[in-house]
Structure 1
Amino acid sequence: MTHEDKDGLRGICVLGLNYTDQLTIAGGDRLVRALRASVLAMLRATFGADRVYEAPSSGSFVITLQGAPRPALAALVRTALDKVPGCRMRTGSVHFSTTAHSGVIWSGDSLGVGELTRIAAAACAAAYARGVDLVEYDSPDTPQLQADIQSARLLSDAVSAMDESRLILYAQQIVDTDPDSTGRHYEVLVKMQDRKGQEHSPAAFLPLVERTSMICTMDDWIIRHAILGHAAVLAQHDDIHISLNMSGRTLSDAGFGQGIVQIVAQAGIDPARIQFEITETSAIHDLPSAKINVRTLRDLGCSVALDDFGAGLSGFSYLTDLDVNCVKIDGGLVANVVYPKRRELKIVEALVALCADLGLDVVGEHVSSAQIYDILTELGVRKMQGYFIGEAVPYASIFGPAPDQAAPGG
């Protein structure tokens, strides 16, 4: 690329095709190669033949964005994404097509084309991970870019972090507002420690981990370390109950329920002290297996909760399909109950009434203020969790003296 060309460079776009593995299964390698060729031709017709090439290592397409103002080039990227499904290939009586995801870095003059392409590829990967068609970074210094790079590094390091015990267990208390309630209840959370010793919150790595089968391995690691790794102190503190998260992938594993039966028996603690939380946003791939696993957990004596209830429509389906006995109302709804003109207050009120009719326990998540606490109390929510109640603390610390619960948030 000449100096004049570099001066005219507005950005780099990397575009990848979706579900190519499924296309290979359905139509074979020749079909996928033909589809790639058709998409390449479309991109060259859209941006110019000399501004698009295919990256052999990844099968993605690299587009140099130049020769027009940024808004016009951004519109062309959107147009190209819309055109990909039209690049159809016929095999027999079937027309095959696909969709695409892409990433764009809008450049300054400080980086070369190679580094900009690497950043655009990171944006493309971020788009795929989030399930969106386009991620844009305004500059190499964009905070979101640095966060996405960090998340990718943590995902790549997750298996080693488990092997080297760099996953650190934390716990956040769930308070029962009934003055006659006894015992303490904590949700077990996890942070990841990198090789420099810095701890990273679940938000930095779990969303990516949950998109892979690695989440099953991580769920198993957390459950085993929370129960078996602390079996002796759990036995000594029989007033402590714990909640453990399980992804939809984990719950879909046919052997999960029986595995828990063995873990609890080995630990020698009362199963009624353990609750498992199913995150609503985590897809259950095998509902029949999930039903059996939930039934096994309930028969064992464990509680099973739907986490993030109300965040999407799937929760209502799970409520009918799975034998849960608790729901945790999504924090996004809870956070907005303080605004009477918004719909969230009415939605939470309706969810609490529904759960009461069904005989289900209700937990309000993300309770961050006294005002939210009071509103939920008036609505009939008895159990609450959030920063007003208490921040997450190292898991091992909960086995010390019980904290004073007289003043939540204190």
Structure 2
Amino acid sequence: MSLAAAAPARHPLAGRVGLAAAAVAVLGETAWLVARLPGAALVSDLGAMAVSSLAAVLCFGAARRQPVALRRFWELMAATMALAALGRTVWTVERLGGLGLPHTPLVAGLFAAGIVTGTAALLTFRAGPRSLIGRARTLLDGVIVGLALIPIGWVVVFQEITEAGLADPMRTFGLLYPMFDLMQLTILVAVAGPGRPMWRALTVIGAGLAIRAGADAVYVSLVAHGNYTPGHPVDICWPLSYLLVGLATRYPPPVDEDGEDDVVESPLPPWWRVALPYLPVGGAIVAVMLSRRPSGQTPHVVFVGMMALLGVLALRQGLAANENLRLVGRLRRLAYSDQLTGLPNRLTFVRRLRRALRGGGPVAVVLLDLDGFKQVNDRFGHAAGDRLLTTTAERMRDAVGPDGMIARLGGDEFAVLVAGERPVPPERLAIRLLAALEPLPGEEDLGVHPSASIGIAEYGPQHTSHTDLLRDADIAMYAAKAAGKAAYRTCTPELRESAVSRAELIADLRRAVDEGQLLMEFQPIVDLDTGVVRSAEALVRWRHPRLGVLTPARFLPLAEETGLIVAIDRWVIHEACRAAATWRANAPEVTVAVNIAAAHLCRPDLIATVTGAVAAAGLPPRALTLELTESALIEGSESVLDRLSQLRDLGIRIAIDDFGTGYSSLSYLHRIPATELKIDRSFVSRLDAGDTRAYATVEMVNRLAGAFDLAVVAEGVETVAQHAAVTAIGCRQGQGWRYGRPTALPDLLPALSGAGADR
């Protein structure tokens, strides 16, 4: 249950009775003063004493009920109300003693103490500034607004008062009361928390402060003009402001007041909040000009007030300058260091690298990338990944020591800059890093400590800038990954040339689909008993402008790595369906098979792509078979299996390619909506060598497929002995060079004509 939901049940009955009694007192006083009944002055005093006392009790009760974060706030508010009640009591006693309006030091001291506690309560509010400097800045903002009221109030209230009428200092210094009220209102606006939901209790307290500020301003004006008498209707405003403080205790704090907002970034304040303490200053300057007496002199109170205002403004600007300096330092740290590990970031690394290159000494970059870091994030969550990065950074510091500068470039990529007179070569540093990152006893079992691949590049004549050096380190690092990971490689001209060729091939591949460079070949799948073609597998080729026709092994891995495989898959599916439509007139039972990449299998638009291609070609869904690698199916999610089931329900056939090479085949056969298995060529190729284990494996897969009512295709049949073996085992269909090499569609059509004639 949230705090907001639970809080109403915790209000005791006594608190409700007290609040009701205070409301009755305010209403009774209002009726008495408005009706101008006898004893209005005493009723006014007693009403203010009673309501402020009840408000103090209610605030003390709220301090016991509220969470720890708000307890001090309500304790100080209770003290403020208690001081108001005590001050009103002394006021009443001295007034009844014949002092008229008892503006005595004791009364002023009690009211001033209440202002101090009330201001302290606002400054300790949870959403307000936490630091001492922040609280001082907020207090000064309030003081600036309050001091700006002095010359303005002087012009409004005292401008027409004669010199003789200003002889009583209480008339002039009475301006301090509304000044303090405005100061507290300014502080309340500041601590309310910009961008957060406004707590209703603060809204009610703010309304009370506004009422009190208005009442104090009217009171000062009436006293200055000699028009105030105790029991005036304005006296209703003070107990009403106390009542609103008591009413504020009824509102529970926002849910995030119990500490949840600690992790939320504080929103930026609106522009008016930043300008708030300075807006009244302009009015104060105009008021000073208007306050001059005929003699040309500025009243002493206005002069002192403006001097105080200028002093507070200077102090406030000093705090702002100090805060700006600290902010600049923090921004510098944010700009040049990694917040998670505390290491220098990429920007700092590049700056140091460029400086080292300008120095002219030997420079090397050691680039490190964690192997399998994504699996740690996916399996254990990003918090575990962050802990791993922090631990890696600490181990790297220990391993490198003073021999290089370590930086986190981003993600799971780190770099070490080795420059100047190096005590150890970069290869030795790489060995130390690999040793430092080996899992400690127990870490390997947890599965949260991946290995690392390291690439090394040393600056030489072939480099024109720091980017070339970083590129070479990256090339070497990927070579280390390709070599089996947990290793290091140094960039060589051969590696660089290979990487450049690879990058050029990727760039060319991006244009291959749009420029029509892809072509299709088909390899027949035959009935082993009759030799009749039953299907044809579509195989993509790339007619490269410079390199000639490239096989799938040359470019499909690059396509999968760069994400281009999806576009290639779409083209293959559409072209295969159109080709199958051309041969169905003579061979209506011959189907077409298309390979689907794992990345495409995970896309939600796979169903739309397949059904759109079949419909566009006018091909029956049963004439299309999607071949999916076993590893792609095993890594697939529930959504992938559901997608395959939908395709199967539409009539599309599903084949598991390279069957037998995965590690969870049997369990997945119960879930994958497959229609056939294709036995991997690695088993078939060993049949003519008398390999009994291979024979037993093919035989077992054939029986397993029969148990699941799946068709079987033996892949890679190239010799007579292999053909005889798979036929003897009972495989119904075969594919391989023994029955036909991949060929273009025109060359395939004569072989398909026999399939139609056979029927």
| TM-score normalised per structure 2 | 0.43
Letter aligned with residue 392 of structure 1: P
Secondary structure at the residue paired with 1:244?
Answer: strand
Distance in 2 (alpha carbons) for counterparts of 1:375 and 1:106: 53
Match of 1:233 among 573, 576, 582: 582
Q: 1:399 to 1:146 in 2, by over 3 A?
A: same
Give 1:35 shift: 6.2
**After superposition, what is the alpha-carbon deviation per residue over 1:150-170, rounded to whole angstroms, capped at 9, x for unaligned?**
555444544322222222222
Instruction: Please report how far the alpha carbon of residue 377 of structure 1 lies from its aligned counterpart in structure 2 after TM superposition.
Output: 2.1
Summarize the Cα distance change of 1:298–1:351 in structure 2 as closer, same or farther, 3 Å threshold.
same
Q: Which residue of 1 aligns with 2:681?
A: 331
Distance 1:14 1:347 in 2: 45
1:169 aligns with 2:515: no
Residue 42 (structure 1) aligned to one of 388, 392, 395: 395
Residues 310-349 of structure 1: CA distance to partner in whole angstroms, max 9, x if unpaired? 1112333332111211001122222233444573332222
Distance 1:176 1:236, change over 3 A: same
- Whole-Å separation in 2 of the counterparts to 1:308 and 1:332: 9
Q: What is the alpha-carbon distance in structure 2 between the residues aligned to residue 132 and residue 283 of structure 1? A: 25
Deviation at 1:392, TM superposition (A): 2.0
Q: Which residue of 2 aligns with 1:314?
A: 664
Aligned residues: 385
Q: Which moved more, 1:372-381 or 1:57-66?
A: 57-66
Q: Distance in 1 between matches of 2:500 and 2:383?
A: 34
Higher relative contact order (CA 8 A, sep 6+): 1
CA gap 1:384/1:275 in 2 versus in 1, 3 angstroms: same
The letter for the 1-side match of 2:625 is Q
SS across alignment from 1:282: helix
Read off the aligned partner of 1:60 and give its amino acid letter: F
| Structure whose CA Rg is larger | 2
Deviations 1:115-149 (A, max 9, x none): 7864442243356579844475795437xx86666
Shift of 1:278: 0.9
In the TM superposition, residue 245 of structure 1 has moved relative to its aligned partner by 0.9
Are 1:26 and 2:382 an aligned pair?
yes
Contact 1:13 1:103 in 2 (8 A): yes
The answer to whether the Cα contact below 8 Å between 2:634 and 2:664 also exists between their aligned partners in 1 is: no
Question: C-alpha separation between the residues in 2 aligned to 1:127 and 1:206?
Answer: 21
Superposed CA deviations along residues 173-223 of structure 1, whole A, max 9, x for unmatched, are 2222121x6445211112234452533222223234335654333322211
1:401 maps to: 750
Find out whether 1:122 has 2:471 as its counterpart.
no
Which residue identity does 2:607 align to in structure 1?
G
Shift of 1:260: 2.1
Tell me what 1:92 maps to: none
Q: Given that residues 525 and 535 in structure 2 are in contact (C-alpha distance below 8 angstroms), is that contact kept between their aligned partners in structure 1?
A: yes
What is the rounded CA distance, in whole Å, between the counterparts of 2:559 and 2:534 in structure 1? 30
* Matches of 1:247 and 1:381, distance apart in 2: 26
In structure 1, C-alpha distance between the alignment counterparts of 2:746 and 2:436, rounded to whole Å: 54
Residue aligning to 1:251 = 601
Alignment match of 1:269 (pick from 612, 619, 636) = 619
Which of 415, 434, 444 is the equivalent residue of 1:61? Answer: 415
By how many angstroms is 1:48 displaced? 5.4
Equivalence for 1:224 = 574
DSSP-derived class of the 2:631 partner: coil
- Segment of structure 1 superposing worse, 215-224 or 145-154: 145-154
Give the structure 2 partner of residue 91 of structure 1: none
SS of the residue 1:165 aligns to: coil
| TM-score, structure 1 as length reference | 0.74
After superposition, residues 66-145 of structure 1 pair within 5 angstroms as 67=424, 76=432, 78-82=434-438, 99-104=450-455, 118-125=471-478, 132-134=485-487, 136=489, 140-141=493-494
Distance of aligned partners of 1:98 and 1:357 in 2 relative to their CA distance in 1, 3 Å threshold = closer
Which residue of the other structure, out of 671, 695, 700, is the alignment partner of 1:345?
A: 695
Paired residues of 2:366 and 2:416 also in contact (CA < 8 A): yes
Q: 1:322 to 1:403 in 2, by over 3 A?
A: closer
Sequence identity (%): 27
Q: Confirm whether residue 15 of structure 1 aligns to residue 365 of structure 2.
A: no
Residues 47-100 of structure 1 show CA distances to partners (whole Å, capped at 9, x for unaligned) of: 554356447488432577995798x7775454244259999xxxxxxx996634
Q: How far apart, in 2, do the equivalents of 1:61 and 1:261 lie?
A: 48
Q: 1:285 to 1:177 in 2, by over 3 A?
A: closer
Whole-Å Cα distance in 2 between the matches of residues 48 and 220 of structure 1?
52
1:275-294 to 2 correspondence within 5 Å?
A: 275-283=625-633, 287-294=637-644
Label 1:264 to 1:282 Cα distance change in 2 as closer, same or farther (>3 A).
Answer: same
AA aligned opposite 1:344: A
1:252–1:284 contact (8 Å) kept in structure 2: no
* Aligned counterpart for 2:511 among listed residues 149, 160, 177: 160
- Per-residue CA distance 1:362-397 (angstroms, 9 max, x = gap): 111222333323222222223222233332223x33
**Would you say the 8 A contact 2:570–2:609 is kept in 1?**
no
Conserved in 2, the CA contact under 8 Å of 1:284 and 1:290? no
Task: Select between 256-265 and 338-347 the one with higher mean Cα deviation.
Answer: 338-347
Query: Measured at CA, do residues 357 and 285 of structure 1 come closer, stay the same or move farther in structure 2, by a change above 3 Å?
Result: closer
Name the CA distance, whole Å, in 1 between partners of 2:562 and 2:432. Answer: 32
Amino acid at match of 1:401: P
Q: Is the 8 A contact 1:126 1:148 kept in 2?
A: no
- Take 1:300 and 1:213, find their aligned partners in 2: how far apart are those partners? 27
Change (3 A) 1:404 1:242: closer
Q: Match of 1:372?
A: 722
Q: What are the residue-to-residue correspondences of 1:142-153 with 2, within 5 Å?
A: 150-151=501-502, 153=504
Q: Could you say which structure has the higher helix fraction?
A: 2
Shift of 1:284: 5.9
RMSD after superposition? 4.5
Q: CA deviation at 1:302?
A: 2.8
Opposite residue 251 of structure 1, the aligned amino acid is L
SS in 2 for 1:378: helix
Paired residues of 2:577 and 2:592 also in contact (CA < 8 A): no
Conserved? CA contact 1:169–1:190, under 8 Å: yes
| SS of structure 2 residue aligned to 1:14 | strand
Distance 1:104 1:54 in 2: 15
User: Over residues 244-286 of structure 1, what are the superposed CA-to-partner deviations in whole Å (9 max), with x where a residue is unaligned?
Assistant: 0112332333342344233212211233322111111225665
Question: Which residue identity is paired with 1:263?
Answer: A
CA distance in 2, matches of 1:231, 1:172: 13
Describe the SS at the equivalent of 1:275: strand
Query: Which secondary structure does the structure 2 equivalent of 1:168 belong to?
Result: strand
Structure 1 partner of 2:6: none
The one-letter code sitting in structure 2 at the alignment partner of 1:265 is: A
| Structure 1 residues 319 and 265: CA distance shift in structure 2, 3 A | same
Q: What is aligned with 1:186?
A: 536
Paired AA for residue 172 in structure 1: Q
Is the contact between residue 84 and residue 98 of structure 1 (CA under 8 Å) also seen in structure 2? Answer: no
State the distance in 2 between where 1:353 and 1:66 align.
65
